[in-house]
Structure 1
């Protein structure tokens, strides 16, 4: 089934067109990856398809009645919406009815003895039944369950990873004919990315995705389109085969350009011949030369990759970081339990784990920025640390590009040589005419490139990277890998990019569960090959507290004098765990009873009955809610002990 057809579509911002008479068709079942360098217009292209940006010319046809869902590159706002309301918002009209019904039934302030309230609920119930809305409500509940998100939690309370999962749920809930995803793996952890891969491979509609994650693209794509210098090329196969044919195409383009330039040079020599030749020159040949000149003027050269390099400082001491018996909690969440490690000069260590598991916390503990609850951390000597932080806290978005980098200087010292700031910025693909633009005008990938430009202008022997791959285009990402492979110092990196980890690191510290942190040789795939397993959706927003003690297998061998204390603690843990398990079972049972009452209240005509008939059910619901609140208080008290 044909969903979209583009014919000679054009769009220009500034000097060069983002879309230069592009044509494309999208059919049901296609899983299309959109590739192109940062700034090529990939996100803009999606917004043209959505109708949010109007093309300058050409034809855009969309099949009548199809549903399109879109995941924005930016995270959803931290606002007062509940997760249920946010995800239901992906259903348009029906979603609004379900939101209103959900708010009335779950709001503790709802007065069920008020006839107006009952009439309103009866009206909503009738409208929902007319469009078979209860089946859709079950889909919402199932989506919240699989994404481990609590229906009544507010968006403002959620982490970036949880808001990204919520946005995915909102896009998927409508079961669209075309699903558009702009950098869907940003802010996701590896278990969630793998869940998304499986979900998209089972999805019956079409998928259009912008991503920098090569393994994700390789897993889901069956077609690639490349946006390059305003042109759109389509490759009817997945990412791996695309790479082979793309290289051949670039070689052919380079050869054709060389032949064109050779012919132009010959014609220019001819036109500059002497008076006698000019008397007899062919006017048709002159016109052809003018056409050649115009074609050469209009040619848009392929922008090369960034020319990044990393300045190495003198050698650090042999031991870079030594940590012994680290224990740490973040609030009530167990991060580390008796964790020890020794990182030596030249080690390349990846930190792997689900969102919220504590990767960045451990990184900051190892750097001495956070003091652990117990244990010792010793930093080595002669360290020159380069730290790329995940949240871009180092950027003042109101500064312009050159002021951020130069800090008042015209020249900077790179590997012992003076280089003009503008020339250095060009190495990172910032042309001179853009260097005075504010940072807030840059895309996410361009902001990351700018941070790398500033960091790489300083010598280092310990490089610390926290999610450096977000938003980078693939060419820049591959260049970053090459630079890090040439770096002879020590590397610590947190990343959800599995291929990046496999290409760069030689050992991994993996968060396999609450407090369960183990070391492995090799990268992500090596960890899997060694039987590694990670808790899926570790940061379950519905159960933010860890009620299970960490496995003792994760801890190093204990010293003799610690064993007696450990046995005592284990006994206390068992008693506490037994009580927690008992309360948890009561909570689950009560929640099942509440669900049964809710189902009876959702029966057709429930609110059409006289009030004396429905009041016992309403009273039972109120009593069960009160009981559930009390059980949660017991559970919290046990957790706080």
Structure 2
């Protein structure tokens, strides 16, 4: 059963077309994700479907009786109201249904008439249809999970993240037939995201959402609508299936364009011959030439995101914190925190909203002073700090002016120099976009520009505070590719679990009351540990904490052993290894964990090469020299695989795999 149909929808922003001729439908029970590059109007399309914006062309049809709930990327709430009044006001369909039912019950109790009986029956049917009987229970569950407790707090006093959570609670409480969600995981901590993920997965509500959270998308959605270069593609499956099918499509397109490129050369020669006789040439062949030329141009898809700027060299001394403390009134952020950073270290930071993650980053860079302790930064360290609020620039400035204010010329990692305009091209800002005012950029385009402003300064210690919000999936993937090759230190705060898993080697867990635990494992292992603790399994206590946060510095480890103080299993500064026994020695360092992951890929690649050689040797078609060469290589591969497998087994055994 089709709940919503969109026919030939088109919308432009000034002279810039956002989307044209989009036609699709949402069937009952579908959980659909909309995937498209930044600037293609995903948020605008959701507003059109919700009826809060009018399309330039086309129409949206919604089945009679189907209720639509819409969560905007930047929710608009009435600042004059409290959270409680917002929940109970007549805007809520469910609240209105409950009030109508209560009124009908009261009217029938006072005096039973034919009219009151009819009103009661209709109100009862509406309660059943809206599934409103457990409203109070659902309200407590949803508000509690989203950490909304002070219901008499005014909307005007809420932060951007709090407003988003309140708006999300409202739309879930309404329990609509269709949910339109624009970046629902923004401003949620990881526990909230996992709860929402489970809630939507179990829900029977028809869903259309825009999200960059790939774990969330993969686990919730069973249908992907992709907009790519103005064309609409449907993928009946989750995100993993979509990636597979898109890769197959791109491969087919690449082959098609390679053929078109060869044809273009031939046609170009034909077009250039005998120019004076152009009028006698076949019009159809000339038309075919221009079609082929356009096909080749479209395949390039514009400039790619190339993050290959140079990095300042790092000295031996990186950054060391000694007994650093920070509080705001009775709220303790850091309690005698000590840590020594090593070159190339990659740390993810996990903690609930308000636990002090952003304050910690500001203390590292000196933007905020600690109450006590000492911070010793190496003289060669250059910070690149991307802040959660994103780009801060004059809205009237053009994109190229923003970059030129920092540098007219940019040095790449290979020593070459490029202009600001060329640099923008590398970051997917083609020449026609470079003169766009900042105020007219989409949320994702603003964030991409903000990242450029950080990276253009050639940092060697990158601090990224929620860098993934509003970025499209292609930009995220390319950013991850750059960060995987980045040779400096990296600290990431992100609610994007996929992003963190790919990039970091260990985690700082902000547990509250100034306690920070160093977890030497994957995010998934951390969540498994928490789940086991909730079940009351004592064997999980400190299981993967690497000595509850031993520094990766050898001198620091020796100092702790000399101190011999008891470790409480929480602070990274925990002095010594008492209470952890031999398990501390068995755990891998972050470099060994990185080596373990690399070995898996190397062994797989070597085994693939060995298999290809075995196929070639068995074909009976090889010349003598080639046969001899492949036989020798086969022996080398066998030895390499044995050597690397032995090392993998050693590391895997210590890791407990």
* Structures share fold, TM-score greater than 0.5: yes
Could you say if the C-alpha distance between residues 275 and 495 of structure 1 is closer, same or farther in structure 2, counting changes exceeding 3 Å?
closer
Match of 1:242, SS state, is: helix
Classify the secondary structure of the residue corresponding to 1:554: coil
Q: Secondary structure at the match of 2:338?
A: strand
Pairwise CA distance, 1:360: 1.1
Partner of 2:503: 504
Q: Which residue of 1 aligns with 2:570?
A: 554
1:472–1:267 Cα change, 3 Å:
same
Report the 3-state secondary structure (helix = DSSP H, G, I; strand = E; otherwise coil) of the residue aligned with 1:450: helix
| Equivalence map 1:562-577=2 (5 Å) | none
Aligned-partner Cα distance in 1 for 2:304–2:330: 46
1:327-346 matches, cutoff 5 A:
327-346=325-344
- Aligned counterparts, 1:376-525, within 5 A: 376-392=374-390, 394-407=392-405, 410-415=408-413, 416-525=415-524
Q: Which residue of 2 aligns with 1:63?
A: 63
Inter-partner Cα distance in structure 2 for 1:501 and 1:556: 20
Count residues with an aligned counterpart: 518
Closer, same or farther: CA 72–3 of 1 in aligned 2, 3 Å: same
The yes-or-no answer on 1:287 pairing with 2:284 is yes
- Alignment map for 1:287-366 (pairs within 5 Å): 287-290=284-287, 292-294=289-291, 296-297=293-294, 300-301=298-299, 302-318=301-317, 320-366=318-364
* Larger RCO (alpha carbons 8 Å, 6+ apart): 1
2:19 corresponding residue in structure 1:
19
Aligned residues: CA RMSD: 3.5
Distance in 1 (alpha carbons) for counterparts of 2:274 and 2:361: 73
Partner in structure 1 of residue 258 of structure 2 = 258
Q: How many Å separate the matches in 2 of 1:458 and 1:429?
A: 19
Distance 1:532 1:365, change over 3 A: farther
C-alpha change, 1:408 and 1:369, in structure 2 (3 Å) is: closer
Residue 271 of structure 1 and its aligned partner are, at CA, apart by 5.0
Closer, same or farther: CA 247–517 of 1 in aligned 2, 3 Å: same
Q: Distance in 1 between matches of 2:45 and 2:269?
A: 43
- Residue pair 1:87, 1:167 contacting (<8 A) in 2 also: no
Residues 358 and 99 from structure 1, CA distance in 2 versus in 1: closer, same or farther, beyond 3 angstroms?
farther
**In structure 2, what is the Cα distance between the partners aligned to 1:27 and 1:246?**
23
Cα distance, 1:168 vs. partner?
A: 0.8
* Per-residue Cα deviation, 1:87-113 (whole angstroms, up to 9, x for no partner): 34584466479999xxxxxxxxxxxxx
Cα offset for 1:403? Answer: 1.8
Asked whether the equivalents of residues 144 and 169 of structure 1 are also in contact (C-alpha less than 8 Å), the reply is yes
Q: Secondary structure at the match of 2:53?
A: coil
Question: Are positions 1:152 and 2:144 aligned together?
Answer: no
1:379 and 1:268, CA in 2 relative to 1: closer, same or farther beyond 3 A?
closer
2:31 & 2:279 partners in 1: Cα distance?
61
1:248-300 superposed Cα distances (whole Å, 9 cap, x missing partner) = 1011122223333444544454455459997986xxx4235325525744874
| Separation in 2, partners of 1:362, 1:356 | 11
Contact preservation (8 Å) 1:325, 1:374: yes
* 1:441-482 deviation digits (Å, cap 9, x = unpaired): 111211111112122222222111111111111121122112
SS at match of 2:142: helix
Change (3 A) 1:245 1:84: same
Q: Is the 8 A contact 1:506 1:523 kept in 2?
A: yes
**1:412 Cα offset (Å):** 3.6
8 Å Cα contact 1:78/1:157 also seen in 2 = no
Deviation per residue, 1:394-449 (Å, 9 max, x gap): 43333321222111864344444332211111111112222232212111211111
Aligned partners of 2:528 and 2:165: how far apart in 1? 28
**1:594 counterpart residue number:** none
Q: Which moves more between the two structures, 299-308 or 361-370?
A: 299-308
Shift of 1:213: 1.1
Q: What residue in structure 2 maps to residue 570 of structure 1?
A: none
Is the CA contact 1:462–1:491 (under 8 Å) kept in the aligned structure 2? yes
TM normalised by structure 2 equals 0.71
- Residue in structure 2 matched with residue 50 of structure 1 by the alignment: 50
2: CA distance, partners of 1:463 / 1:6: 44
Name the SS of the counterpart of 1:327 in structure 2.
strand
2:45 aligned counterpart, secondary structure: helix
Question: Structure 1, residues 291-334: CA drift from partner, whole Å, max 9, x if none?
Answer: 5525744874424531222421011333x222233333223222
Offset of residue 366 of structure 1: 2.5
Name the SS of the counterpart of 1:259 in structure 2: helix
Q: Distance in 2 between matches of 1:533 and 1:512?
A: 17
Of the structure 1 ranges 288-297 and 448-457, higher mean CA displacement relative to structure 2 is found in 288-297
CA distance in 1, matches of 2:99, 2:319: 52
5+ residue gaps, structure 1, are 101-125, 536-550, 561-641
List alignment gaps of at least 5 residues for structure 2. Answer: 101-119, 535-566, 577-657
Equivalents in 1 of 2:533, 2:136: separation in Å? 31
Assess if the C-alpha contact under 8 Å between 1:18 and 1:229 holds in 2.
no
**SS, match of residue 290 in structure 1:** helix
Distance 1:211 1:534, change over 3 A: farther
**Cα distance, 1:59 vs structure 2:** 4.7
- 1:467–1:142 Cα change, 3 Å: closer
On the 8 A contact 1:350/1:523 being kept in 2, the answer is no
| 1:38 CA displacement | 0.8
Aligned to 1:143: 142
**Matched-pair contact (CA < 8 Å) for 1:325–1:340:** yes
Specify whether residues 493 and 275 from structure 1 end up closer, same or farther in structure 2 by C-alpha distance, changes over 3 A only.
closer
